[in-house]
Homo-oligomer: A and B are copies of this chain.
């Protein structure tokens, strides 16, 4: 384990921290980051916490050309009694390894990654904002760094964790968004990389988002790549519908990202005794439910927003309003419960929350 001892190279220079009310998303980073290298033959090595600094990479580094890149996103919360909480972080590192497998990136030691994250957060604990709705956004990512233009898996990688204090997603309270159902562009298809959290999925989604924004829709709803009938995701979130009392979300099919908030929502709904189904669901079924007055709610789920209520769909020239464009009771209850578990205000019957211990582990 000697080669896995995390080294600390801390800087006395501390940046000015933004005020809570000025916090945005993903533009301000803390004083330090975690870095670990991979070299073929040697494996992952040299885990270290270093000053936050630019990466120095050869222009031929493979990530620029062939996009071997995976990432995760999660948050740390400061409770009212000054405990630091993470929400199901082990699932992020499990998913990172599933993404690695698809992208031919070497497997990471999940325990070491979680330990590294905890150490980094403790190093940066003064950066965790504590105002309502704020948190410390965590971005673990892996990039291929071998300087080589051959199309092949890289022999060198970097695993990096950076931290960014972020403001409340809903500065004026949780509110519904308008969604354009996408019928030209495709996010992913079975046999592709839709299930992996990899850079290329996001690059390919930008064009549809641009078209939707121009039409004043917040996000696109992605249909399946084969028949363009079945619902997959909304923007970069999973999606749920409440139809005649039952809550339905598309089943994982190989092209849908296995969201951690998605899973938490399903477990909570079951815990509350509400009927929930993971199954294939078509846009036509949504339209019929809308027509018959049975489409009661719709919402997206993801780390950034937690729950994002949907107030309107636009599909094939037809506008469909959900719950009179207001946030529905299920979405609201899920949002309140999950955020309260995340920031330690409510009990955590599922053991989802992981406390970052207030000490540096002796090495």
Contact = CB atoms under 8 A, between A and B. Distances in A.
A184 B191 contact: yes
Contacts of A104: 206-207, 210
Interface string A98-109: 000011100000
A362 interface: no
Interface in A145-204: 147-153, 160, 162, 164, 184-186, 188-193, 198-204
A43 interface: no
A68 interface: yes
Given A60-B29, A191-B184, A206 B153 contact: yes
A53 B33 CA distance: 24
A65 B55 contact: no
Nearest to A213: B152
A139 B143 contact: no
Interface in A311-336: none
Interface residues of A, number: 66
A27 interface: yes
A275 interface: no
Contact of A65 (B71, B191, B235): B71
B199 A190 contact: no
B69 A26 contact: no
A148 B137 CA distance: 12
A226 interface: yes
Given A67-B67, A153-B206, A192-B204, 14 more contacts: A26-B60, A29-B147, A52-B59, A55-B59, A57-B57, A63-B199, A65-B199, A68-B203, A103-B204, A103-B207, A151-B209, A186-B192, A191-B228, A192-B225
16 contacts: A26-B148, A54-B57, A59-B162, A60-B139, A60-B164, A64-B71, A64-B199, A67-B202, A69-B203, A103-B207, A104-B206, A151-B205, A153-B210, A198-B203, A225-B225, A225-B226
